[in-house]
Chains A and B, each alone.
Chain A
């Protein structure tokens, strides 16, 4: 099994729908992150969490919310999806201290029509 698992892998949804992306990890890492990737824009941080119940906004948090109910799980919600949220979404984890690189999930390709 993958160290960081994202579900679903692909999703097509309609404008205005609520959608949740799930992430679970077996790395035992405290820190978890949600990024989105768009062509030409690179990876941009949406939210991050350093521990259970710890939630912090990233650079593009508007329109998104997250929940960290357990060390191993970090979910991302789009309350009312809009077409410009169409992107590739990645969950990532890292160790508690320092930055030694992320472990990424395999991504969720989300299309909002």
Chain B
């Protein structure tokens, strides 16, 4: 089983739609969770951290389910500019915090 798994997509959604991605992780000791956004041929950029209580940033909501070991990203009112690949990132704790990237979920928002 991969340490971090994501559905590669693509998710093709119309503008204004709500879309959700999940990401599962295998290490129950994982401590920190993040979503990154990566545009084609560009560098990944931190979108948001994921907290146990869930967090929201405008149209984006991230949630963590430790019992089932997954995190989710919800995008409301999708914009054309949301088209990108969304990477799930999981970090453990300890002296060297091992950081594992998912392979990403591709989102295409259609006019």
Q: Which of A7-29 contact B (CB under 8 A)?
A: none
Q: Bound state CA distance, A104 and B87, in angstroms? A: 14
Number of A-B pairs whose CB atoms are under 8 Å?
Answer: 41
Q: Which of A71-113 contact B (CB under 8 A)?
A: 88, 90, 98-102, 104-107, 109
Is B44 located at the chain interface by the 8 A CB criterion? yes
Q: Bound state CA distance, A104 and B9, in angstroms? A: 24
- A103 to chain B minimum Cβ distance, whole angstroms, is 8
Q: Which of B42-78 contact A (CB under 8 A)?
A: 42-46, 49
Whether B103 pairs with A41 at a CB distance below 8 angstroms is yes
Whether B101 pairs with A99 at a CB distance below 8 angstroms is no
List residues of A whose CB falls within 8 A of some B CB: 40-43, 45, 56, 88, 90, 98-102, 104-107, 109
